[in-house]
Structure 1
């Protein structure tokens, strides 16, 4: 293997040079593995007092202890009261009375009278609006507007009514024309039916007579056909 080893620098013994190169490479790899970064990328240090907060826990325990003590004292007092008979009679048999009841009633009556008098004044007051004069003034203004305007008032409504009347007249005339056409058609049909009836009677008469009458009947039927 040492014969195929490539040396960067000239040497006397290739075998020894190969061993030297391997040892140097091994030292280099060990240094790479043992190298430490210059930038600290590790997690920051955790402080227990920031997570547990012992001061807060201490205050909470003290508060609970105070509450427990107060509850115990209150329970002892209540039990003592229940065991012993009370010395003070705290039953109230009197009705509550108001010291300013009459004054409030007088004020309420006064307010009621004032409201009633105000309502009477409002109702008895006549209206200040002059509706008739306003109406006359408005009619006068309309007359002035008609006199100075180019078109009369409500001209568009008149046009609408005239157009509707024209459409109605057109519809009536069209219906009358249709009726006349149908009557003419019915009259023509009656004539043809009468003619057909005459033709049938002539043919019936020709069959009842002799040979001479048959010829005359055929001539008549041909004349009738030509007339049709």
Structure 2
């Protein structure tokens, strides 16, 4: 039934025969296209050694490297000679500089250390302003509220121990210590 819808390029008497001939021609064309071999040469061009190897450049590089090597060797000889001998100049300075107010500075330093110790003792003995236990109770209350108003199952929050809470930080809500 496909031959009825077929539109041949040339006028014909039998649309069915023309359809079969066109179909046969198309199949032959498909086979030829599939078995066709590429005519493009995609191989790289031939490489010539005289273009690839630049002798003048290599010769200049070798000469530069030999000059550097010779200079390095000369410097190494000079350094080893200086290390073996004491050298020409005595540049050892054994003078120890002294300050005139050394004792005064040490006394001031001791005074500062004593003041620091006294301050540390007074700070360690004073009571904290904020209560870590209050924070812990507030957190437990907050977890209870979150559980009661939550739409989904609550997340498992790990409850930190009381002594982990920092002692001197701010609280957002006003509470009694």
Larger Rg: 1
Report the TM-score when normalising by structure 2: 0.30
Report the TM-score when normalising by structure 1: 0.26
